[in-house]
Every structure is written in C-alpha cells, then in structure tokens.
Amino acid sequence: MRSVLRRLVLGAAFLAVLLQAAEVGAALGPIKIGFIAPRTGYAAPNGRDLTDGLMLALAQAGQQVAGRPIRVIAEDDQNTPAQTLTKARKLVELDGVDVLFGVVSAASGYALRDYVDAHHVPTIYPVVASDDLTQRKRSAWIVRTGWSSSQPEHPFGEYAARVLRYHRIATIAYDFSFGWESVEGFQDTFERAGGRVVAHLWPPQGTPDYSPYLARIPLTGSDRVDAVFAVFSGTDALRFLQQYRAFGLEGRVPLLGGGTLTDEHILFQEGDLARGVITALHYSAALKTPANLDFVRAYTRASSRVPSYYAEGSYTAARILLAALEALHGRVEDKAALVGAMRRVVLPDAPRGPVRFDAWGNPIENVYIRRVDIVQGEPQNSVIFTYPHVSQFWTVPPEEYLREPVYTRDYPPAHP
C-alpha cells in the first residue's frame, strides 16, 4: 500500500512539474524560426524540399518544444545573395526571429555570414556547403548541419584511384566555389592515391550548351582519360547528362560525380540517363537503415515524393535544433547557449546515419559511395560502400589542414 501511495505521489509531482514547464513555456511565447529558401526561380524545387523536411520534423514534434509553440516565418530569397541578406534583415530586425534557418546557395551562405556574426543571430545551414564557412572563415553563430563541399569528395577521390582503378580523369563542374571545392577536394586525394587530373572544365551555372566543354575532354591516344568527374545539380545536371549521351560519351567514358548530380531532387527526371553513374554524398534515400526507412515512409506520405538530400538535410537540422532546445528547456533567449547546445547534439539515428559535430561547427558523418541502379523501373542511388565518421578535414590534423589555402579554381591545378 505504501509503495502504491509513493508512486501516486511521485506521479502527481512529475505531472505538476510538466504542467509548470508548460505554463512557463506559454508565458515566454512562441519560438520564432526565420526560414529562408527559394520558393520561386530555378532553385524553387530545392527550396520546396527544404521546406517539407523542416515541416515534417516540426509536425512530428507537435509544433512545440519544452512547452513553447514554434512559429515559422518563411521568406523567399530566389536563391540570390542580395535577396538573402534583405530577407534576413527583415526577419531579424522586424519579425524578431530567434533563429535563422536555411538558404541553398553557397554565395548566399557567405553573404549572410557577416550579418549574423555582427548581430549574434543563431543560424543553421542545412545544405550550404562552402568549405571555409566552418574552416578559416568560421562564425561563432553558424552551425552547419549538412556538409562541406569537399567533405564527401575526399574519400571519393581515394576510392576512384584505389577501388575503381582510374588513373587519368578530366573534371567538369560549376564555375563557382561549390564546383571548385568539390573538384579540388576530389583531386587532392585522387592524386595522393596515384591518380592524375588532366583537365579542369568550368562551365557557368545555367549553361545551355555543354558541347564546347565536352569537346575538350581528351579521348584518344596517350592523353585519353579513364573517366570524367562532374559537379552539377537540378536542371543543369539533367541537361548535362542529356548532352553527355548526345555527345556519344555515355558507355565510352565512365561518369563520376558530386552527389547533387544524381540527387533525388532531379534523379527521377534523369531516369535511365543516370544509370551507372557513381557519386558520393552523406545521404541516399535508398539507405536501408530503420531510421531512414521510417523517414522515407513519413516524408513520402506527407509530400508524395521520395526525399532528396535537401529534404533530409532540413529534417535532420530541425531535429538538432529541437534537441538543443529541449536541453535548454526552451530558453531560446540565451543565444550563445543555444549555439553551444546545438554543437553538443549527437544524433545516433539520423536518416543519413550517426551525426556529431567537430569543434568548428561542422558535422562528422558517414559518406556513401552510390551507384545509380534502375530498380523496379525506378532509379535509385544504391549504396555500394560506406566511409564512416568522415571529418571535413579527412584524415589530416585540423591545424595542418588549415595552414593550406582553401581549394580554388586553380588550386590544386590540373596536370595535362
């Protein structure tokens, strides 16, 4: 009888604590997330996936954390840096948001950095990948939950040389920081493992005709390449694959790529064009882990689409934010504590696999080598190898890594 009474008393006390916490949370008001993503323009599908990933995570949390409701204020930046900065100012200075969340463009990520640094705004980048944002130009106020551009390409360069046994590769990629850092990260480890990058080709974003670049790929004699490494996304990726086939290169020169080349946001439009293409990224919707199977089912049910890396990135970023807020009992007003709490989050069961942060605010996570297969009539990024717990610094000590210059258009140079 006494044990029953004791349990009742403890249960009542616990309920009282929960009710008190809920009352405190309600009194403090909603937690406001300022969400910036392209909702119009060529990158609107990427922004749509970011939105849907965030909203799924918040729906699963009941639109609240630690007794405080969550309010999302969304702005369309059209994927342009000037608009990103304008929208951020509006969200912070007029709407009084507690956290900034989002953006797609690497250039927008850099444009926002100085503003959030000056205003001490906790900011989450689910997909912005520019290397230096968590390296030489890191901010105390930015937590990157996605990846750095070169992070998956370091293991991939080594894989291309040691497993695929390629010796000579030409690269073709976007002519801005994301393309440069992806290519040069791949080249760095590919050449350390004995390979050679013989040509860099840099078409601008939105190139309508890739044939002048494809014509410069060495295809004959002693200069002939074993493979091509490409970095594009969205409709640029689709157009590139169409022209790669039309140019007669499909089946003649194997194609490798950065993960966005065949990401699920464009993969189902690419279809058979992408068959056999091998890429590297920290996520694939085809992962067979229980956490990812649950996520894919929930996301597909909510949006009628298979999740892309953009969707998973936003979903996992929201889970990290929610975990940090729970640890702080919803006290979002202490901005420095919130950033610190986010960087201490460890997710053993994110859809992409385990995630934890390094001292620079960048995730340490698995990188998957993926091959596009057609399964039951649909393309998928089948995982053929896993590099576990990959750091943005690969296997190099951080201090040594940071003494080297950031990867650029010409560093390291190609070796014809």
- The tokens for 169 are 């590769």
Rounded to an integer, what distance in angstroms lies between the CA atom of residue 394 and that of residue 185?
A: 10
CA neighbor of 281 nearest in space, from 181, 371, 359, 160: 371
- The tokens for 115 are 């503003």
The residues facing 124 across adjacent strands are: 101, 143
Q: What is the percent of the chain where pLDDT is above 70?
A: 94
Residue 37 near residue 73, CB atoms below 8 Å: no
Whether the pLDDT of residue 6 is over 60: the answer is no
Q: pLDDT band at residue 19, thresholds of 50, 70 and 90?
A: very low
Domains of the chain (ranges, CATH numbers): 7-128+288-351 (3.40.50.2300), 153-286+366-403 (3.40.50.2300)
Q: pLDDT band at residue 222, thresholds of 50, 70 and 90?
A: confident
- The tokens for 185 are 């990260």
**One-letter identity of residue 360:** W
Question: Average pLDDT, stretch 366-390?
Answer: 98
DSSP letter string over 54-67? HHHHHHHTTTEETT
Q: pLDDT band at residue 85, thresholds of 50, 70 and 90?
A: very high
What is the rounded average pLDDT for all residues in the chain? 93
- Of the two residues 188 and 20, the one the predictor is more confident about is 188
Q: Which of 17-31, 50-64, 291-305 has the lowest mean pLDDT?
A: 17-31
Rounded to an integer, what distance in angstroms lies between the CA atom of residue 178 and that of residue 174?
A: 7
Sequence-ordered alpha helix ranges (H) in 250-307: 264-270, 290-303
Rounded to an integer, what distance in angstroms lies between the CA atom of residue 288 and that of residue 300?
A: 15
**One-letter identity of residue 109:** G
pLDDT at 22: 45
pLDDT digits (tens, 9 = 90+) for 23-49: 444 457 999 999 999 999 888 999 999
- Of the two residues 191 and 23, the one the predictor is more confident about is 191
pLDDT digits (tens, 9 = 90+) for 200-214: 999 999 999 999 999
pLDDT at 240: 98
Rounded to an integer, what distance in angstroms lies between the CA atom of residue 12 and that of residue 9?
A: 5
Q: pLDDT band at residue 70, thresholds of 50, 70 and 90?
A: very high
pLDDT digits (tens, 9 = 90+) for 236-252: 999 999 999 999 999 89
pLDDT at 27: 59
Rounded to an integer, what distance in angstroms lies between the CA atom of residue 366 and that of residue 388?
A: 4
Question: Average pLDDT, stretch 360-369?
Answer: 97
CA neighbor of 200 nearest in space, from 232, 172, 161, 241: 172
pLDDT at 13: 44
Q: pLDDT band at residue 107, thresholds of 50, 70 and 90?
A: confident
Residues whose CB is less than 8 angstroms from the CB of residue 352 and which lie 6 or more positions away in sequence, other chains included:
282, 283, 287, 292, 312, 316, 365, 366
Question: Average pLDDT, stretch 52-72?
Answer: 98
Q: How far is CA 414 from CA 171, 174, 232, 323, 367, in A?
A: 9, 16, 19, 44, 25
pLDDT at 305: 96
Q: Is 345 helix (H, G, I), strand (E, B) or coil?
A: coil
What's the whole-model pTM score? 0.92
